Amino acid sequence: MQFHHVSATFTRPSQATQYTAGDAIANSQTGSAVVPLTFTIPYAANRRTGRLSGARAVVTPASSDLVITALDFDLLIFRPVTSLPFAAGSFPADNAAMAISAAAYRELVGVFRFINTAWRNTLGALTAGVTGHQNAAPVTRANYPFSLDSLSGNALIGVVQAIGVWNPGAVAQVFDFTLDLEQE
């Protein structure tokens, strides 16, 4: 068994519009400019399969403290089938409703939920700070198996969806994710 950590990062634009449940949290207020999170999967014995067993998020605002009150979101991980979860240039803009199709949900590997009562600051306290971090386990099962063998790429795609109302303030914020990956 080999263990890997694969990471991806984006910066949320500096805008003060409040998020509501179902909104995309993304890197651009223009849908055609949104770049999804890309988690490159290492080849293990020429196989592109594995299991996701956990995820970590670190959120750091460009200035001031992170607003952790109601910072609830899901990190959805998809197999990168052509045009899924959205066609290139058609991802929802930051703070726009994210309507995911049935076809995309069929390629969903798993969901990691990050909730406001589990954020920790740099001192480990459950209060606002200059950075917040949190670990998340798979939502529906012990791990999320996946296979990319039938696809041409070697990456999983991630999108972030708000699951409640969040008022982040008008400050850019870096969202840094790490997936825990197990491969045989």
How crowded is residue 146: how many other Cβ atoms within 10 Å of its Cβ?
21
Predicted local confidence at residue 48, as pLDDT: 80
Which tens digits make up the pLDDT trace of 75-106?
999 999 988 899 988 999 999 999 999 999 99
Predicted local confidence at residue 8, as pLDDT: 98
Residues of the chain with pLDDT under 70: 44-46
Q: What is the pTM of this model?
A: 0.94
Predicted local confidence at residue 44, as pLDDT: 64
What is the Cβ-side half-sphere exposure of residue 95, based on CA atoms within 13 angstroms? Answer: 16
Predicted local confidence at residue 35, as pLDDT: 95
Q: How many domains does the chain have?
A: 1
Range of the domain at 69: 2-183
Phi-psi region of 64 (alpha: psi -120 to 50; beta: other; left: phi over 0): left
